[in-house]
Amino acid sequence: MSDVSQRFATPPVLITGMSGAGLSSAAKVLEDKGYYVAHNIPSRVMVDLFEQCAAEDSPVDKLGVVADVRTRMFPGSLLEVITELDSRGLKPVVLFMDARDDVLIRRFDSVRRTHPLQEGDTLSLGIEREREAVKNVLAEADLVIDTSGLSVHDLRRAIEVSLGTMAADRQHVTVQSFGFKHGAPRDADIMVDVRFLPNPYWVPELRAFRGTDQPVADYVLRQPSAGEFIDNFEAMFASMLAGYRHEGKNFVTVAVGCTGGHHRSVAVAEEFARRLRLRDGLEVNVIHRDFDRH
């Protein structure tokens, strides 16, 4: 059996998800990073494409494939393709792009497009049909990015951070800070709430700073309850990593929330990521979702 880590410079990426959730934007990010990206080829052709690109004489060493609702109109399910690729040592990283229904409706309305599965009905029904069609792929996705509150620039950063350097022999952990007042992230595997810590926002000389600034980090992390919490959470998470690895889950997103996503969650996320980087076999990235939001 072939080894994907030897046949590609980075593991191939399969981009799929909800129409209007940012599949094209994700594809552009990969193209800018030097990936050869194929769009909406029939499911049965995907396996042949992967094999051709993985051949020794292939000029392609970074491969991305976009599979939206149009791909699913051809015979053969996407899950069958992923299973077949896995059996050949070519299993891709499955990146699922998602967004809330109200956001998808607003995006379709703004460009005056009909949903591919609308079929003369309402836009909401088209989105409902697509959610039903993709639910099995969503359940098997390695990475889920919820683009509901992301600008184009935020989306690029989220994809770049989530994919990282894509080392095939490592588990990938993304630590994301966020503010509950902007909504809890839907794409997190584990979520923790650090609003029990004293809030630097109420310290006048700290309010304008962020959790990446030393005065705020010191204020947050020097709280006895902060150190105890991070110690306990790190120990719990470490015990989970082996189980994730056994289940084939090599991408894990940890969300750390506070009120606004500026101070406590940022400082704790940075410290937690720092500790994880000391462990072997992990690639750790940090993203601060609401760092600049008010």
pLDDT of residue 13: 93
Q: How far apart are CA 157 and CA 159, in angstroms?
A: 5
Q: Which domains are present in the chain?
A: 4-163 (3.40.50.300), 171-288 (no CATH)
Residue the block writes with tokens 């042949």? 48
Identify residue 50 by its one-letter amino acid code. F
DSSP characters over 212-244: TSHHHHHHHHTSHHHHHHHHHHHHHHHHHHHHH
Which uninterrupted H or E stretch holds 285?
strand 282-288
pLDDT of residue 74: 66
Q: How far apart are CA 121 and CA 144, in angstroms?
A: 28
pLDDT of residue 3: 52
Write a three-state SS string for 124-185.
HHHHHHHHHHHHHHHHHCCEEEECCCCCHHHHHHHHHHHHCCCCCCCEEEEEEEEEHHHCCC
Residue 210's closest CA among 131, 289, 127, 96? 289
pLDDT of residue 261: 96
Binding positions are 68-71
Contact 256, 194 (CB under 8 A): yes
pLDDT of residue 5: 45
Residue the block writes with tokens 């994919």? 163
pLDDT of residue 125: 92
Residues 6+ apart with CB under 8 A from 152: 25
Question: Which residues does the chain have with pLDDT short of 50?
Answer: 1-2, 5
Copy the structure tokens of residue 107.
Answer: 């995006």
pLDDT of residue 255: 96
Ramachandran region, residue 17 (left: φ > 0; alpha: ψ -120 to 50; beta: rest): left
Binding positions for GTP are 68-71
Q: Count CB atoms within 10 A of the CB of residue 222.
A: 9
pLDDT per residue as tens digits for the range 79-115: 888 888 988 888 899 999 999 999 999 999 888 888 8
pLDDT of residue 166: 57
Residue the block writes with tokens 């588990």? 171
Strands 190-193 and 13-17, sheet pairing? unpaired
What is this structure's pTM?
A: 0.71
Instruction: Give the Å distances, CA to CA, from 135 to 131, 159, 189.
Output: 6, 21, 17
